[in-house]
Amino acid sequence: MREKGWKDIPLGGLILEAGNAKEYLTGSWRTFHPVLDEKKCKHCLICWIYCPDSSIIVEDGKMRGFKYDYCKGCGICATECPFEAIKMVEEAKCRTEEGRK
């Protein structure tokens, strides 16, 4: 399925029905994205509490990474992590270095 471009979405990103926010893949807005240092992470889940896009993946009470389709790269998780376990990396660099989208 083709990702929606900015011309395809309603003006102002309207939420027309309950739950349709998941259709807006805000990850395409990003210029930076968060990267987890698993060795430093203590699974306190402060990042999960603060993330405005519910983009922190939690499984069995542990922080497991990020939902990059929805993370818009605001950096709040990296700022709030008390253990400096998240760093923000330039999106363009990661596309090259990690071969990721």
16/19 Cα distance (integer angstroms): 9
> Where in 1-101 does DSSP place strands (E)?
32-36, 56-59, 62-66, 86-90
List CB contacts of 3: < 8 A, sequence separation 6 or more: 25, 28
Least distance in angstroms from the C-beta of 3 to ligand SF4: 18
**Residue 81 sits in the site that holds ligand SF4 (CB under 6 A):** yes
Does the footprint of ligand SF4 cover residue 91 (CB under 6 A)?
Answer: no
Measured between alpha carbons, how far is 71 from 5 in angstroms, rounded to an integer?
Answer: 17
Judged by CB under 6 A, does residue 41 bind ligand SF4? yes
Whichever of 74 and 91 has its CB closer to ligand SF4, that residue is 74
Q: Which residues bind ligand SF4 (CB under 6 A)?
A: 34, 36, 41-47, 51, 53, 55-56, 63, 66, 71-77, 81, 83, 85-86
